[in-house]
Amino acid sequence: MRTLSAPDRTRHCSKEALMKTHSGTSWKINSRTGQATRVCQITDLHIPGGDQQASFGHVKAHVMRQLDYVRRERPDLLVISGDLTIPDACRPACEWLCDQLPAKIPTIVLPGNHDSPATLWEVFGPDRCGNQRFYYKRNLGEYDLVVLNTHTDHLPREQMDFLQTAVTERPAVLFMHHPPDLISDGFMARQQPLANHQQAAQAIRQSRVTDVFCGHYHNTAEIDCNGFQLHLTPSPAFQVSLLAHEFEPEAFEPCVRNIVIGPFGVRTSLATV
Ligand SMILES: [Fe+2]
């Protein structure tokens, strides 16, 4: 059983069933028809690149379970939101992941603090990386999808300006590695927060982003950030207590986040795989 731990102001995902929608292989179809878009998100894979990471020996099997679920669900889009390997920026582990990805499901890869954007670009290419800056938007029809790049542990000013100038036409969902909120006062918030999380959150509030999907904290949370909803997605590698001030691992099972975006708004839940 997966053990969830979160502060009082955190709400876990409801168990509501996802709306059943068309699941075509091209998410661009939905921008023409106005149908809902189905997205799966996985994050913080930390795929080991060699025998020296014995404690990460379970990770490839967990990632395969996640990708098998994605193949069965056939979403319009898969988003992998950073921290792909251990050790950091490990090219063989990136190449292993690239070989496992469902070929017919469009996939976005964005960098976390343990990734090299240059390596991701070389391995996954422009279709999955968007551009070499790793920040951009795409149209989903009634919503835009925005990707930001926080691999330096902060959100650069130019990306906050991008939110103000480019994310203005319609509501948007945002994918970034780091949460733009401390979430709790636990280990990750104390040791590895987004350095300018307050400024980042303010920039998001001043844009048309309604929902932020992130990882990095290796746990689950749903936070009302007074202007946008923050959805924290767990890792298939290890889970970290949100409450303990020191690093404290928790029992877990790998999960995939399901997101449905349509005329009704944004709905999301986690599926244990
Ligand atoms: Fe991270």
How do the domains of the chain map onto residue ranges?
28-272
Residues 130, 80, 126: CA angle, nearest 5 degrees: 20
Predicted pLDDT of residue 19: 26
Between the CA of 264 and the centroid of ligand 1 the distance, in Å, is 31
Residue 228: pLDDT band (50, 70, 90) is: very high
Between the CA of 19 and the centroid of ligand 1 the distance, in Å, is 30
Between the CA of 117 and the centroid of ligand 1 the distance, in Å, is 14
Predicted pLDDT of residue 27: 40
Tens of pLDDT, residues 73-91: 999 999 999 999 999 999 9
What gap in Å lies between CA 262 and CA 19, rounded to an integer? 10
Residues near 263 by Cβ (< 8 Å), separated by ≥ 6? 34, 36, 142
Residue 52: pLDDT band (50, 70, 90) is: low
Is the pLDDT reported for residue 45 higher than 60? Answer: yes
Tens of pLDDT, residues 103-152: 999 999 999 999 999 999 999 999 999 999 999 999 998 999 999 999 99
Between the CA of 144 and the centroid of ligand 1 the distance, in Å, is 25
Between the CA of 234 and the centroid of ligand 1 the distance, in Å, is 11
The rounded mean pLDDT for the chain is 88
Predicted pLDDT of residue 34: 61
Predicted pLDDT of residue 35: 80
Between the CA of 113 and the centroid of ligand 1 the distance, in Å, is 5
Give pairs for 268-272: CB < 8 Å, separation 24+: 268/13, 268/211, 268/213, 268/231, 269/13, 269/14, 269/15, 269/16, 269/18, 270/13, 270/220, 270/233, 270/234, 271/69, 272/2
CATH number of 28-272: 3.60.21.10
Stated pTM of the model: 0.88
Is the pLDDT reported for residue 16 higher than 70? Answer: no
Between the CA of 82 and the centroid of ligand 1 the distance, in Å, is 7
